[in-house]
Chains A and B, each alone.
Chain A
Amino acid sequence: MSDQNTGAQASPEGGGEPIPVMQRILDNPFLLVFLGVTIPSVFYILWGVMEVLAIPNAP
């Protein structure tokens, strides 16, 4: 199973073939930064803080 130089963007081996969606995602560092910051911010921080804020005050 070889996937040598599947980076079609600049390599001659890639020729005119379309670049797979997954590879385009993985080749875009700024999209990865967005995903890597947003997902844990929502699922871990925001969800957690909302649950803490929803705890009723002791009477």
Chain B
Amino acid sequence: MTTALFRTCPDTGFKIDLKVDKLIKWNAVTAIVFLMVGGVFGLGVAMTRWPAVHLLPADWFYLALTAHGVDVLLVWLIFFEMALLYFCSAILLNSRLAAPKVAWVQYGMMLVGALITNVAILQGDSSVMFTSYVPMKAAPAFYLGIILFAVGALMGCFVFLGTLYIAKKEKTYEGSIPLVTFGALTACIIAIFTIGAGAVILIPTLLWSMDFINYIDPLIYKVIWWALGHASQQVNVAAHISVWYAIAAILFGAKPLSEKVSRTAFFLYILFLQLASAHHLLVDPGLSSEYKIFNTSYALYLAVLASMIHGLTVPGAIEAAQRKKGYNKGLFEWLRKAPWGNPVFSGMFLSLNMFGFLGGISGVMMGTEQLNIIIHNTIYVPGHFHGTVVVGTTLAFMAFSYWLVPTLWQRELVFPKLAKWQPYLFGLGMGMVSVLMMGAGTLGVPRRLWDMSYSDAAMPYEFPAAAFLMMGLNGVFALVAGVGAIIFIVQMVGTVMWGKKKVPAAAAPETAAAPAAPARTPEASAVSSYGSAGTMEVPGTFVLALIFLVTFMLYYFVNWKYLSSVWGLS
């Protein structure tokens, strides 16, 4: 049996393999660095799409758009998810990490891959955007970097699975794995599918960019690429929902309303969530309606059901825990008395609500074959995924970082008062960006368009004044969110570098072949064990869920009405 060195976290009682400790720190810090890089490019994009500012020339706009997509949609999120996978396996299961050397290879390959792709983009001949649709050809280094990055991530997934195996074999936990770890397993499985699909299409594309292959069919490329491009965002969804459950447990000692139901919802993700990739193909000729409708509506609705279950059970778990503590007045005392000044909670709760109301509802609308035509390839699409990946995933990861970084580094936040405001600035700023992009997209403004005024076009088109107003406001709120992002990065970097030490000296490491179960705090026990809240009496949550369902139905049917007015064929 391999011997590992552990330390005991003074805040939580978690026993932490020192190798895991370092790996989580390096992956998380690298993620935040790439969030900063990708965020700067994103501001460049938003300032260019603000018609009155129109900051970047066309070639720089497409370069920035490509770098923004790669760095935030892929690099920031997957580095952070590697940290999460190690946390959810080794730390929550009280285990050593399987193959730490392989985990360092994961880190190295992802870092080198991300750097190679970034350099290729900055050289200016790979402005093919995140989707890199053929026949647009980037430099070989662009594809090579992404392949290296993906293979590194795949290694991280295998280390995670290996850790689950050895934890079970060495009996470091009893019964089933905790729900948060199960959610991370869901993310890991979707990631394996995603990376496999990416290899199937990007390796031939690399060879094509090197002139070893003459031709790649654009539609086949598109079908397979979206198994990478969209399913990678489903990795994020599974990961950030795990983070919601983790935060509910860490802050409130909350257990899911029903462990079985939540686990089944993750199981539905494993089976069906990846099929949503087909909504990118809904207007492509050549694919049958049976294929499109089965993948986006029939099967995907099972994954939507799963999301609604999580959307109900996470606040439900918090309500149940708060009511146990005596916050029983009326429907919402549990929510009013929640720690709104704690960025861990406020970030998570904003993420949960905005993911549902902005990203979730719009995603179902877009996934309907008939409705998709209203907004396909308009800026509505980035509006939707800023509602999922930014205010959903990124905000959830930021919230988790406010707990993870001070806990792992054992340092206090450098600017705690500023931290209280950060989730509101970033979350509400980005929430408005999402709404405004969806609004402009509904008026027909295309995505990825350098100049919406078509000032030098042979056949100009004039959008309504409201579309220009919304794109201007989009720029304003992008700046607000940018301030929020800068505060977050300063907090994290500052805390790691200069944060006040929580304890005078770190506890001495101890050697343990098979660590005994340590005394964990009730909150740490809640996040790392199996079990339910034992109650379904959460009336406030059911009222919130009804508000969501009514909004959902209204928005869905309003779009059918809108379709009837724009589809002038009858």
The answer on A and B forming one complex is yes
A→B interface (CB under 8 Å): 1-11, 14, 22-23, 25-27, 29-30, 32-33, 35-37, 39-41, 43-45, 47-49, 51-53, 55
A29 to B186: give the CA distance in the assembly, Å: 9
* CB contact under 8 A between A7 and B270, given known A36-B193, A44-B227, A49-B224: no
A9 to B177: give the CA distance in the assembly, Å: 11
Interface string of B177-206 (1 = CB under 8 A from A): 100001001100110110011001000000
Asked whether, in the complex, the Cβ of A55 is within 8 Å of the Cβ of B193, the reply is: no
Is B412 in contact with chain A by the CB < 8 A criterion?
no
A33 to B533: give the CA distance in the assembly, Å: 28
> Which of A22, A37, A47 sits near B189, CB closer than 8 Å?
A37
Is B498 in contact with chain A by the CB < 8 A criterion?
no
* CB contact under 8 A between A3 and B176, given known A37-B196, A51-B287: no
Q: B residues within 8 A CB of A23?
A: 176
Q: A residues within 8 A CB of B161?
A: 29-30, 33
Asked whether, in the complex, the Cβ of B275 is within 8 Å of the Cβ of A44, the reply is: yes
B→A interface (CB under 8 Å): 161, 164-165, 171, 174-177, 182, 185-186, 189-190, 192-193, 196-197, 200, 217, 219-220, 223-224, 227, 231, 257-260, 263-264, 267, 270-272, 274-275, 277-278, 281, 286-288, 291, 294-295, 299, 530-536
Q: List 5 A-B contacts (CB under 8 A).
A: A11-B174, A11-B175, A22-B264, A26-B267, A29-B161
Q: B residues within 8 A CB of A53?
A: 220
Q: B residues within 8 A CB of A1?
A: 257-258, 532, 534-536
* CB contact under 8 A between A37 and B193, given known A5-B530, A52-B223: yes
Q: Which 7 A-B pairs have the closest CB atoms?
A: A7-B175, A7-B176, A36-B189, A40-B274, A2-B534, A48-B223, A36-B270
Shortest distance between the CB of B283 and any CB in chain A (Å):
14
Q: A residues within 8 A CB of B264?
A: 22, 26
List 15 other contacts, CB 8 Å, given A52-B220, A52-B286: A3-B260, A3-B531, A5-B175, A5-B531, A7-B174, A14-B175, A27-B177, A33-B161, A36-B190, A37-B196, A40-B227, A40-B277, A44-B223, A49-B224, A51-B286
A32 to B291: give the CA distance in the assembly, Å: 24
* CB contact under 8 A between A37 and B231, given known A4-B531, A52-B217: no
A26 to B530: give the CA distance in the assembly, Å: 13
CB-CB nearest in chain A for B173:
A10
A25 to B185: give the CA distance in the assembly, Å: 13
Shortest distance between the CB of B236 and any CB in chain A (Å):
16
Asked whether, in the complex, the Cβ of A3 is within 8 Å of the Cβ of B258, the reply is: yes
Asked whether, in the complex, the Cβ of A39 is within 8 Å of the Cβ of B532, the reply is: no
A22 to B264: give the CA distance in the assembly, Å: 9
> Which of A2, A22, A43 sits near B532, CB closer than 8 Å?
A2
A45 to B225: give the CA distance in the assembly, Å: 10
Q: B residues within 8 A CB of A9?
A: 175-176
Q: B residues within 8 A CB of A7?
A: 174-176, 530
Asked whether, in the complex, the Cβ of A40 is within 8 Å of the Cβ of B534, the reply is: no
Asked whether, in the complex, the Cβ of A26 is within 8 Å of the Cβ of B176, the reply is: yes
Shortest distance between the CB of A6 and any CB in chain B (Å):
7
Shortest distance between the CB of A37 and any CB in chain B (Å):
5
A25 to B270: give the CA distance in the assembly, Å: 12
Asked whether, in the complex, the Cβ of A48 is within 8 Å of the Cβ of B278, the reply is: yes
Residue with the highest number of chain B CB atoms closer than 10 Å, among A11, A43, A53: A43
CB-CB nearest in chain A for B224:
A45
Asked whether, in the complex, the Cβ of B270 is within 8 Å of the Cβ of A35, the reply is: yes
Q: B residues within 8 A CB of A22?
A: 264
Shortest distance between the CB of B45 and any CB in chain A (Å):
30
A25 to B533: give the CA distance in the assembly, Å: 23
Asked whether, in the complex, the Cβ of B164 is within 8 Å of the Cβ of A3, the reply is: no
Asked whether, in the complex, the Cβ of A27 is within 8 Å of the Cβ of B281, the reply is: no
A44 to B219: give the CA distance in the assembly, Å: 14
Q: A residues within 8 A CB of B274?
A: 36, 39-40, 44
Asked whether, in the complex, the Cβ of B271 is within 8 Å of the Cβ of A36, the reply is: yes
A5 to B291: give the CA distance in the assembly, Å: 41
CB-CB nearest in chain B for A8:
B175
Q: A residues within 8 A CB of B532?
A: 1-4
* CB contact under 8 A between A27 and B220, given known A44-B278, A48-B278, A51-B286: no
Residue with the highest number of chain A CB atoms closer than 10 Å, among B175, B274, B287, B530: B175
Shortest distance between the CB of A40 and any CB in chain B (Å):
4
Q: A residues within 8 A CB of B193?
A: 36-37, 40-41
Q: A residues within 8 A CB of B224?
A: 45, 48-49
Q: B residues within 8 A CB of A41?
A: 193, 196-197
Q: A residues within 8 A CB of B217?
A: 52
Shortest distance between the CB of B96 and any CB in chain A (Å):
18
A7 to B288: give the CA distance in the assembly, Å: 44
Asked whether, in the complex, the Cβ of B271 is within 8 Å of the Cβ of A39, the reply is: yes
Asked whether, in the complex, the Cβ of A32 is within 8 Å of the Cβ of B270, the reply is: yes
Asked whether, in the complex, the Cβ of B281 is within 8 Å of the Cβ of A48, the reply is: yes
Asked whether, in the complex, the Cβ of A51 is within 8 Å of the Cβ of B171, the reply is: no
Shortest distance between the CB of A28 and any CB in chain B (Å):
10
Shortest distance between the CB of A16 and any CB in chain B (Å):
15
Asked whether, in the complex, the Cβ of B175 is within 8 Å of the Cβ of A51, the reply is: no
* CB contact under 8 A between A3 and B175, given known A35-B271, A45-B224, A48-B278: no
Shortest distance between the CB of A4 and any CB in chain B (Å):
4
Asked whether, in the complex, the Cβ of B259 is within 8 Å of the Cβ of A29, the reply is: no
A43 to B302: give the CA distance in the assembly, Å: 14
Asked whether, in the complex, the Cβ of B286 is within 8 Å of the Cβ of A55, the reply is: yes
Shortest distance between the CB of A36 and any CB in chain B (Å):
4
Residue with the highest number of chain B CB atoms closer than 10 Å, among A7, A14, A27: A7
